[in-house]
Amino acid sequence: MNLGIDDLPVREELRGKSPYGAPQLDVPVRLNTNENPYPLPEALVERIAERVREAARNLNRYPDRDAVELRTRLAKYLTDTSGYEVGTANVWAANGSNEVIQQLLQTFGGPGRTAIGFEPSYSMHGLIARGTGTGWISGPRGEDFTIDLPAAEKAVAEHRPDVVFITTPNNPTGTAVPAETVLALYEAAQAAKPSMVVVDEAYIEFSHGDSLLPLLEGRPNLVVSRTMSKAFGAAGLRLGYLAAHPAVVDAVQLVRLPYHLSAVTQATALAALEHTDTLLKYVEQLKSERDRLVGELLAIGYEVTASDANFVQFGRFADSHEVWQHILDRGVLVRDNGVPGWLRVTAGTPEENDAFLDAVRELKCFVG
Ligand code: PMP
Question: What digits encode the pLDDT tens for the residues 253-264?
Answer: 999 999 999 999
Domain boundary among 228, 250, 274: 274
Provide CB contacts within 8 A for 331, sequence distance 6+. Answer: 27, 28, 29, 355, 359
For residue 224, CA distances in Å to 147, 160, 167, 337, 356 come to 18, 21, 10, 24, 33
Residue 247 belongs to domain with CATH number: 3.40.640.10
How far apart are the CA of 30 and the centre of ligand 1, in A?
17
Q: Which domain holds residue 316?
A: 25-40+278-366
Residues 146 and 224 placed together within one structural domain of the fold: yes
Residues 243 and 172 placed together within one structural domain of the fold: yes
The minimum-distance atom of ligand 1 relative to the CA of 99 is: 14
How far apart are the CA of 366 and the centre of ligand 1, in A?
30
Q: How confident is the model at residue 2, as a pLDDT?
A: 85
Q: Ligand 1 pocket test: which of 124, 228, 237, 238 has the largest number of ligand atoms within 8 Å of its C-beta? A: 124
Is residue 243 in a domain? yes
Is residue 190 in a domain? yes
Q: How confident is the model at residue 303, as a pLDDT?
A: 96
Residues 159 and 216 placed together within one structural domain of the fold: yes
What residues are in contact with ligand 1 under a 6 Å CB criterion?
34, 96-98, 122, 167, 171, 200, 202, 227, 229, 235, 240
Q: How confident is the model at residue 368, as a pLDDT?
A: 65
Q: How confident is the model at residue 34, as a pLDDT?
A: 94
Question: Which ipTM was obtained for this model?
Answer: 0.99
Could you give the CA distance from residue 339 to residue 127 in angstroms, rounded to a whole number?
A: 17
Sites in the chain below the pLDDT cut of 50: none
Q: How confident is the model at residue 18, as a pLDDT?
A: 81
- 29-57 per-residue burial string, b: 16 or more CB within 10 A, e: under 16: bbbbbbbbbeebeeebeebbeebbeebee
Q: How confident is the model at residue 198, as a pLDDT?
A: 98
Q: Whole-model pTM?
A: 0.96
Residues 320 and 345 placed together within one structural domain of the fold: yes
Q: Ligand 1 pocket test: which of 100, 101, 166, 171 has the largest number of ligand atoms within 8 Å of its C-beta? A: 171
pLDDT in tens, 107-137: 999 999 999 999 999 999 999 999 999 999 9
